[in-house]
Amino acid sequence: MMTLEAYPIYLSYLLIVAGFVFLILGADWLVNGASGLAKRFNVPDLVIGLTVVAFGTSAPELVVNLVAAINGSSEIALTNILGSNIINTLIILGVSALIYPVASQKSSRRQDIPLSTFAGFAVLCLVMLTPGEGGVNRWGGVFLLLCFCFFMVLTMRHARKHPAEAGEEFVPIPAWKAIGLIVVGLTGLIIGGQAIVASAQNIARSLGVSEHVIGLTVVALGTSLPELATSAMAAYKKNSDLAIGNVIGSNIFNVFFVLGVSACIRPLPSYDGLMLDAFMAGCSSLLLLGFLYTNKERQLQRWQGLVFLCIYAAYLYTRL
- pLDDT tens for each residue of 135-161: 888 999 999 999 999 988 888 787 777
pLDDT band at residue 257 under the 50/70/90 scheme: very high
* Predicted confidence (pLDDT) at residue 6 exceeds the cutoff of 60: no
Summarize pLDDT for 78-131 with one digit per residue, the tens. 888 898 899 999 999 999 999 989 888 787 888 888 999 999 999 989 988 876
Residue 46 has pLDDT above 70, yes or no: no
Instruction: Give the residue among 23, 87, 17, 70 at the shortest CA–CA distance from 227.
Output: 87
Residue 262 has pLDDT above 60, yes or no: yes
pLDDT tops 50 at residue 1? no
Enumerate residues 6+ apart whose C-beta is below 8 A from 197: 1, 64, 67, 68, 71, 73, 76
The fold for domain 9-319 equals: A middle domain of Talin 1 (1.20.1420)
| Range with the poorest average pLDDT among 228-232, 255-259, 277-281 | 228-232
Share above pLDDT 90 across residues of the chain, in percent, rounded to a whole number: 23
Residue ranges covered by each domain of the chain: 9-319
pLDDT tens for each residue of 297-317: 888 999 999 999 999 999 988
pTM (predicted TM-score):
0.83
